[in-house]
Amino acid sequence: MAIVRLDKVSKVYGKNKLKVHAVTDVSFEVQEGEFLAIVGPSGSGKTTLLNLIGGIDRPSKGKVYIEDQDITLLSKARRSDLRLKRIGFIFQEYNLIPVLTAVENIELGLLLLGIDKAERRERVNKIIKDVGILELANRRPKEMSGGQQQRVAVARAMVTKPAVILADEPTANLDSNTGISILRLMQEMNHRENITFIFSTHDPMVMEMASRVIILRDGRIESEEKRD
Ligand SMILES: Nc1ncnc2c1ncn2[C@@H]1O[C@H](COP(=O)(O)OP(=O)(O)OP(=O)(O)O)[C@@H](O)[C@H]1O
Ligand SMILES: [Mg+2]
């Protein structure tokens, strides 16, 4: 079973003369355990595509399947439920909740899923060690560097054990060494937990780390490259 499948997906923003064809006729499958990069110039449709896969947005045409479920047919409420349970997100701007500590940010999804306190504690304690932020557990986002915040965001995305983690330019706001270390962390989690990652990037160094690269141009797949 493919974790993600897109079947002739298109997204058009606006109407009439202001129409923007952001994504056009894109089809591909992502298998469990892939570490897939989506690359392409600014405006090529990377964010739009990730938003369609994550059910944040709906395609104008075509189908998006997550674990064989057609998410284009789901109501908004069902899509947010699916996101909570099966999809993790990592953002360029980290998007942690400012008033919560690192641990509280990570725990939030588990609370929303109704997981009991003992299991929440166990999972959070494990993941903060895995991502190397044990000593930052009680800090708030503004008391952490960008790289540290992104580690918290990786932990937050992982802790609910999603089927796939979507990351839109997760290293764009980091210096290149920190960016590489975040990608290494994602790669380690991908290997160790067999979690599927789909991330977009501009950075050739980051692209090198992918197991497969899909290159977008003007909203279409221009080419695809399989590694090792
Ligand atoms: N909400 C929107 N309304 C109208 N047009 C949009 C909207 N969002 C994106 N677009 C347009 O769709 C196209 C694809 O945008 P998208 O943000 O997906 O590109 P991107 O590859 O993520 O670019 P970047 O590398 O700059 O982040 C662009 O032409 C953009 O201007
Ligand atoms: Mg983008």
CATH code of the domain covering residue 222: 3.40.50.300
Does any domain span residue 106?
no
Measuring from atom 25 of ligand 1, which residue has the nearest CA? Answer: 42
Domain count, the chain: 1
| Atom number of ligand 1 nearest to Cα 216 | 21
Residue 148's nearest CA partner among 194, 113, 101 is 101
Per-residue pLDDT, 107? 98
Residue 40: other Cβ atoms inside 10 A? 21
Mean pLDDT of all residues belonging to the chain:
95
- For ligand 2, the distance from its centroid to the CA atom of residue 117, given in whole angstroms, is 37
Ligand 1 atom 1: residue of nearest CA: 13
User: What pLDDT is attached to residue 113?
Assistant: 96
Domain assignment present for residue 139? The answer is no
Relative to the CA of 51, which ligand 1 atom is closest? 18
Residue 150, both tokens: 């992104």
pLDDT in tens, 52-92: 999 999 999 999 999 999 999 999 999 999 999 999 999 99
Task: Summarize pLDDT for 125-176 with one digit per residue, the tens.
Answer: 999 999 999 999 999 999 999 999 999 999 999 999 999 999 999 999 999 9
Domain annotation covers residue 146: no
What pLDDT, on a 0 to 100 scale, did the predictor assign at position 227?
82
Q: Report if residue 158 sits inside a domain.
A: no
Query: Residue 101 domain-assigned?
Result: no
What single-letter DSSP state applies at residue 97? -
Residue 72 included in any domain: yes
C-alpha 103/C-alpha 179 separation (Å) is 22
Closest by CA position to 168, among listed 222, 91, 220 = 91
Is position 77 within any domain? yes
Closest CA to ligand 1's atom 18: 45
Ligand nearest to the CA of 38: 1
3-class secondary-structure state, position 94:
coil
Ligand nearest to the CA of 51: 1
Instruction: Write out residues with Cβ below 6 Å of ligand 1.
Output: 13-14, 20, 22, 40, 42-48
Residue 205: band (very low, low, confident or very high) from pLDDT cuts 50, 70, 90? confident
Q: At residue 228, does pLDDT exceed 80?
A: no
Residue of minimum CA distance from atom 31 in ligand 1: 43
pLDDT at 203: 86
Over 90: is that where the pLDDT of 110 sits? yes
Residue 41 belongs to what domain range? 4-95+163-226
Angle of helix 117-130 relative to helix 102-112, nearest 10 degrees? 130
Task: With respect to residue 28, please indicate whether it lies within any of the assigned structural domains.
Answer: yes
Q: Pick from 16, 47, 53 the residue to mutate for probing ligand 1's pocket: most ligand atoms within 8 Å of its CB.
A: 47
